[in-house]
């Protein structure tokens, strides 16, 4: 089975979509690293599609929240962030069996769990971009509704929409009278693919750390880890 046939089969059976231009979907699953090992046969990676898909995803989620809920902007913003953050869309990619379709370099295939989570999230956005270009907004919206928006009630029920940094700050200030401090511990990778490991400290003591493609993402991950550890002491 050649690439086009395999991806068309995946699109039809897993995504529920019949692509007109299957090369869009193939590109959506092509990581930048794959080009380095296939320079003579592959000429495009998924970052432009990811850029487009990110915008479509945010629009669909924003539209859904605006139409269905009357809460103030700050609450709606937190809800939207919970729906489109790396963990949420990576989980959707895993449920959609994206991992088997990824085109990665050998080195990336041996990467950390967190790095793979980010790659899956990026590929999900790229696939949304490919669907939008190939099928239009309504089909892209239906796919996002089915895979992302459908998880919103669970997010509401388990409280994961609450911003970890804000929640940690409230807990620490009420119990300790201190403000958490965030510091970058490690910064690595080329400019186009940075990874930041961030620590969160209280009174000079490290209480959690996390990694992400930006300092903000690392801070959120560190806050989430610290919050779980801190609350487990109760």
Determine whether 87 is exposed, middle or buried from the number of CB atoms within 10 Å of its CB (0-12, 13-18, 19+): middle
CA dist., res. 164 & res. 167, Å (int): 5
- 122 touches 108 (CB < 8 A): no
Complete edge-to-edge strand list for the sheet that includes strand 195-202? 181-188, 195-202, 205-212
- If we measure between CA atoms, which residue out of 53, 68, 222, 80 comes closest to residue 155? 80
Which residues are catalytically annotated?
54, 125
Output the six-digit token pair for 216: 């903000």
- Angle between helix axes 73-84 and 47-68 (nearest 10 degrees) is 140
DSSP strand pairing (195-202 vs 205-212): antiparallel
Which letter, b or e, does each residue of 2-20 get, where b requires 16 or more Cβ atoms within 10 Å of its Cβ? eeeeebbebbeeebebebe
């Amino acid at each position: 089975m050649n690439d086009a046939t395999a991806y068309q089969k995946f699109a039809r059976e897993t995504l529920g979509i019949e692509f007109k231009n299957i090369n869009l979907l193939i590109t959506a699953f092509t990581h930048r690293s794959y080009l380095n090992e296939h320079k003579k046969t592959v000429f495009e990676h998924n970052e432009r599609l990811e850029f487009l898909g990110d915008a479509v995803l945010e629009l669909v989620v924003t539209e859904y929240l605006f139409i269905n809920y009357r809460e103030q902007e700050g609450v709606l913003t937190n809800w939207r962030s919970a729906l489109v953050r790396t963990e949420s869309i990576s989980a959707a990619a895993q449920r959609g069996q994206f991992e088997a379709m990824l085109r990665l370099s050998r080195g990336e295939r041996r990467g950390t769990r967190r790095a793979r989570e980010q790659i899956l999230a990026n590929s999900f956005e790229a696939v949304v971009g490919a669907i939008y270009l190939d099928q239009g907004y309504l089909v892209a919206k239906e796919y996002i509704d089915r895979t992302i928006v459908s998880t919103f009630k669970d997010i509401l029920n388990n409280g994961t929409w609450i911003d970890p940094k804000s929640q940690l700050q409230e807990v620490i200030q009420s119990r300790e009278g201190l403000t958490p401090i965030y510091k970058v511990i490690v910064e690595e990778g080329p400019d186009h693919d940075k990874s930041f490991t961030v620590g969160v400290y209280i009174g000079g003591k490290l209480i959690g750390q996390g990694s992400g493609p930006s300092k903000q993402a690392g801070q959120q991950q560190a806050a989430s880890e610290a919050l779980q550890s801190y609350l487990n002491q109760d």
